[in-house]
Amino acid sequence: MAEAFLTVLLENLSSLLQNQIGILLGIDKEMQRICSMLSTIVVVIEDAEERQLSDRSIKNWLQKLIDVSSELEDILDDCCEMEAFRLELGNLDKVRRPKEARFANLSGKRNLKRLHLSWNTNENESEDNAKDVLEALAPSTGLTELNIQGYKGCENLSSLPTSIQMLTNLKKLSIEMCPNLEKRCEKEVGAISVY
């Protein structure tokens, strides 16, 4: 039982490290070391499971190990869930039609809390297309943080797009380089801070 649990724990840990920290220098060697260590632990546990019937201290040790393993699995699950709460969409300047943006189905991602949208500098993209793409993305109303970077329509933006106005749970909004929007916010009630 403990062996199966540790095997699942090893798979989850391996997946988490590869997906979340894989770009860091030297993580592959560290991951191999951890996998080797956990494989050794599995062998020791197999031996302990065979001996637990005749030795109460081993049985007690195995139960404690199962309890700790269960707590570790809960922690790993929490880490994976937290990562699922944020999303980054880049290269939005390459999206040519609002219909393509709707495929992201942001309104269907109810657990999405933090969203980062970014456009690269693209001379060929029109302000209207950027605005249409932003509207079509229409994130879920559960969103609490939104960061918009490189948005082509920012320079002339004087009010928030409808899709952003509908974000009733939004606590943090960051839109870079929107001078007209900044002026309007300064005139509005002091609840909005402009950075």
What are the tens digits of pLDDT across the range 17-41? 555 544 444 555 666 677 777 778 7
Pick the last residue of a domain from 83, 110, 139: 83
Pick the last residue of a domain from 32, 60, 83: 83
Q: Are 108 and 173 in a shared domain?
A: yes
Residue pair 38/17 in contact (Cβ under 8 Å)? The answer is: no
pTM, 2 dp: 0.54
- Domain assignment of residue 130, given as a range: 86-187
In this prediction, residue 194 has a pLDDT band, given cuts at 50, 70 and 90, of very low
Q: What is the mean pLDDT of the chain?
A: 74
Q: Are 105 and 150 in a shared domain?
A: yes
Residue pair 163/173 in contact (Cβ under 8 Å)? The answer is: no
Q: Is 105 exposed, middle or buried (0-12, 13-18, 19+ CB in 10 A)?
A: exposed
Q: Are 69 and 98 in a shared domain?
A: no
Pick the last residue of a domain from 53, 83, 113: 83
Residue 193 lies in a domain: no
Structure tokens at 18: 């590869």
| pLDDT tens by residue, 40-49 | 877 788 888 8
Number of domains composing the chain:
2
Q: Is 57 exposed, middle or buried (0-12, 13-18, 19+ CB in 10 A)?
A: exposed
Three-class SS state of 114: strand
In this prediction, residue 182 has a pLDDT band, given cuts at 50, 70 and 90, of low
| pLDDT tens by residue, 74-105 | 776 666 555 557 888 888 888 888 888 888 88
Cα–Cα distance measured from residue 195 to residue 182, given in angstroms and rounded to the nearest whole number: 9
